[in-house]
């Protein structure tokens, strides 16, 4: 009889532990609210969940992380580090028999890595990423049929698979493995077979295409349907704005940005001042420089974070410089040197601009080239072509400027499907960039790689993608190398 009682108590305990990683309608509602960026509602729902389950801890961590990404509050960041430590301690008491335990612990480390990288702690963030990767690989061996972990593994495999060739030894030394193709497949597997995690997996899948691989027409069509399906999610619509802008389609980004404004004005959605910055970016690309300047100034007034500050002052300089108000422009030019941080690439680029730019020697040709560049970035290709029609290479004195002129003209022709002219200008940019640490040769090689990839000339595409990796010490090396490496992976 005593033995039966012991067995009964063990079974009860096992049953209670088995429920530690189960979803219930309340947690599902909190998860949905999280991706809509209704964070106060998310926290209230999680607080009403009385027992401390593994899923609750996972969602609490995600909520804190997303808030940090939006606010960049340094005090909240320090609190997040302490809270994550407590959460990891709690998770250690959960049963090892469940595949969710090690996976959620790995997720905690991924969240820590993301936050630390965001706040400029690259080395500490990298170690958390490595720890998460090793935990996930170990869990995949122990529980190979546990599909949710493929969401996290897929992201890491894409990141590692797109590491530039000259950094591969670091990945191998640390035991990191990756393949862009396998990572994408893992994300698709989650989105198809684990509906509960489909939103996350889809976001990662589309962002990988936006920032590393580029969109094919079919994947872009799928992405548009995903955005329409989630039109009440401020976070997903915001990501839609940024990815369309990345694709050089500010007209479509502007449509989504209006949706973001409407959602942001509703009660319950998290305040999102970065929307003002995006408005400014679209207006400066359209050539509405004074309207853009007002949006940039609104962003600076509302935003409490530290990223994109140097970039904003750089853009304010451009607004007034391109509007021929050079004296006023200089006041913003000087602020680039002292304000903000240099964690993100946009701020690093703004600081490099200050170090190299001499207002006194710039003429109308330089202003026109900058206007064309901004118009091109927004997808206003015909306008960019018109701005460059009267520009000639001999109007620029430095090889760097001549290389930029040819690269940007090549990009305009490429987008307008005048491929022969595009190739000619890209080749000129490559020649002008030889023996110099400037980016335009590498970027021209990347675009030629894409041209030959699209026309199924595999060997030529491979040649130019590999040539991208041979350029050293230029300002876009990491992003250019990542894209070239990812493209080479798809060719193999």
Domain ranges of the chain: 1-142, 273-362, 384-492
**Mean pLDDT over residues 221-244, rounded?**
95
Same topology between domain 273-362 and domain 384-492: yes
pLDDT band at 472; cut points 50, 70, 90: confident
Q: Is 276 helix (H, G, I), strand (E, B) or coil?
A: helix
pLDDT band at 475; cut points 50, 70, 90: confident
Q: Average pLDDT over the chain, rounded to whole? A: 90
Residue 37 has pLDDT above 60, yes or no: yes
The residues near 37 (Cβ < 8 Å, ≥ 6 apart) are: 66, 70, 233, 234, 235, 238, 263, 269, 270, 272
User: Per residue in 164-214, pLDDT tens?
Assistant: 555 554 555 556 677 778 899 999 999 999 999 999 999 999 998 888 788
**37 class by beta-carbon count within 10 Å (0-12 exposed, 13-18 middle, 19+ buried):** buried
pTM (2 decimals)? Answer: 0.86
Give the architecture (CATH level 2) of 384-492: Alpha Horseshoe (1.25)
> Contact, 66 vs 37, CB < 8 A?
yes
Residue 162 has pLDDT above 70, yes or no: no
User: Per residue in 357-366, pLDDT tens?
Assistant: 887 667 899 9
**Mean pLDDT over residues 316-321, rounded?**
97
CA atoms of 102 and 86, how far apart (whole Å): 16
What is the pLDDT, as a whole number, of residue 361?
66
Residue 108 has pLDDT above 80, yes or no: yes
User: Per residue in 192-201, pLDDT tens?
Assistant: 999 999 999 9
**Mean pLDDT over residues 269-285, rounded?**
96
Chain center to CA of 382: 28
SS3 content of the chain, % helix, strand, coil (to 5): 80, 0, 20
**Mean pLDDT over residues 368-386, rounded?**
96
The number of residues in the chain equals 492
What is the pLDDT, as a whole number, of residue 476?
82
For the domain 273-362, what is the CATH code?
1.25.40.10
CA atoms of 111 and 358, how far apart (whole Å): 42
pLDDT band at 485; cut points 50, 70, 90: confident
Virtual torsion, Cα 413, 419, 425, 431, nearest 10 deg: 150
**Residue whose C-alpha is closest to residue 450's, from 460, 438, 441:** 460
Virtual torsion, Cα 112, 118, 121, 125, nearest 10 deg: 40
More confident residue, 230 or 213: 230
What is the pLDDT, as a whole number, of residue 293?
98
Residue 9 has pLDDT above 80, yes or no: no
């Amino acid at each position: 009889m005593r033995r039966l009682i012991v067995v009964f108590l063990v079974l009860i305990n096992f049953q209670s532990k088995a429920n530690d990683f189960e979803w219930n309608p309340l947690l599902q509602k909190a998860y949905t609210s999280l991706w809509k960026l209704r964070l106060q509602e998310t926290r209230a729902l999680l607080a009403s969940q009385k027992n401390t389950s593994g899923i609750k801890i996972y969602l609490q961590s995600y909520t804190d992380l997303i808030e940090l990404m939006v606010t960049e509050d340094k005090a909240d960041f320090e609190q997040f580090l302490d809270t994550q430590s407590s959460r990891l301690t709690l998770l250690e008491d959960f049963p090892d028999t469940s595949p969710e335990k090690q996976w959620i612990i790995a997720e905690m480390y991924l969240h820590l890595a993301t936050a630390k990288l965001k706040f400029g702690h690259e080395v500490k963030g990298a170690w958390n990423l490595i720890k998460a990767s090793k935990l996930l690989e170990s869990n995949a061996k122990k529980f190979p049929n546990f599909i949710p972990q493929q969401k996290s593994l897929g992201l890491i495999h894409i990141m590692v698979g797109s590491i530039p060739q000259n950094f591969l030894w670091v990945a191998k030394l640390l035991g990191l493995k990756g393949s862009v193709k396998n990572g994408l497949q893992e994300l698709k597997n989650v989105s198809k077979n684990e509906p509960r995690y489909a939103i996350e997996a889809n976001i990662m899948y589309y962002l990988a295409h936006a920032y590393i691989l580029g969109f094919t027409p079919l994947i872009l069509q799928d992405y548009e349907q995903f955005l329409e399906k989630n039109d009440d999610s401020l976070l997903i619509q915001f990501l839609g704005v940024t990815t369309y802008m990345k694709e050089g389609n500010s007209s479509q980004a502007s449509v989504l940005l209006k949706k973001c404004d409407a959602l942001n004005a509703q009660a319950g959605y998290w305040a999102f001042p970065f929307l003002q910055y995006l408005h400014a970016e679209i207006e400066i690309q359209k050539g509405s420089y004074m309207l853009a300047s007002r949006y940039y100034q609104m962003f600076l007034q509302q935003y409490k974070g530290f990223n994109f500050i140097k970039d904003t002052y750089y853009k304010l300089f451009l607004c007034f410089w391109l509007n021929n108000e050079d004296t006023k422009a200089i006041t913003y030019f000087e602020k680039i040197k002292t304000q903000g941080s240099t964690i993100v690439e946009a701020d690093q680029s703004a600081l490099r601009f200050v170090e190299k730019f001499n207002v006194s020697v710039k003429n109308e040709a330089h202003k026109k080239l900058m206007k064309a560049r901004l118009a091109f970035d927004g997808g206003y290709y015909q306008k960019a072509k018109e701005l460059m029609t009267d520009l000639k290479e001999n109007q620029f004195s430095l090889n760097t400027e001549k290389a930029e002129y040819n690269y940007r003209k090549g990009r305009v022709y490429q987008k307008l499907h005048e491929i022969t002219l595009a190739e000619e200008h890209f080749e000129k940019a490559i020649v002008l960039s030889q023996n110099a640490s400037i980016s335009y040769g590498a970027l021209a090689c990347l675009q030629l790689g894409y041209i030959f990839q699209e026309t199924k000339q595999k060997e030529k595409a491979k040649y130019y993608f590999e040539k991208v990796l041979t350029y050293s010490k230029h300002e876009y090396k990491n992003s250019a190398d990542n894209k070239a490496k990812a493209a080479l992976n798809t060719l193999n």
